[in-house]
Structure 1
Amino acid sequence: MGAEILDSFPAGGPRGSWPAEQKAAELRKAGQPVEVVMDLESDRFLVVAGRR
């Protein structure tokens, strides 16, 4: 992948819970460009440093 992974969360969280998106929103609010991507091999959502 080559991107810096800042955090990761299991894909099987409770219905209506989006912890990766919540973490990304916190980081964006602090001025850090990030995005959430799905890693199919590990079945996890990754919060990665944004690509410019």
Structure 2
Amino acid sequence: MTGTKVLEFFPAGGPHGSWPAEEYAAQRRAQGQPASVVMDLERDAFLVVAPEQDGAQAVA
């Protein structure tokens, strides 16, 4: 692995009791894809990230 890839981001100011980033990550994991949630303090957002895989980029 070479790093992480951002799959989606969600603003931190969502409605009380709403966890869209966690729900999105859980859906990805249910499909067998690794995903976790991290906080981006500069953007004030939650990021759903996954490990980048070696060789994921196709060479043209």
Quick check: TM above 0.5?
yes
Q: Which segments of structure 1 move beyond 2 Å, counting only runs of 4 or more?
A: none
TM-score (norm 2): 0.78
1:9-44 CA distances to partner (integer Å, 9 max, x unpaired)? 000000000000000000000000111000000000
1:27 aligns to what?
Answer: 28
Query: RMSD of the alignment, in Å?
Result: 1.4
1:16 aligns to what?
Answer: 17
2:39 is aligned with what amino acid?
Answer: M
Identity %: 64
2:57 aligns to what?
Answer: none
1:6 is aligned with what amino acid?
Answer: L
2:49 aligns to what?
Answer: 48
Structure 1 residue runs of 5 or longer lacking an equivalent are none
Q: Is the 8 A contact 1:35 1:50 kept in 2?
A: no
Aligned residues between the structures: 50
Flag the structure with larger Rg: 2
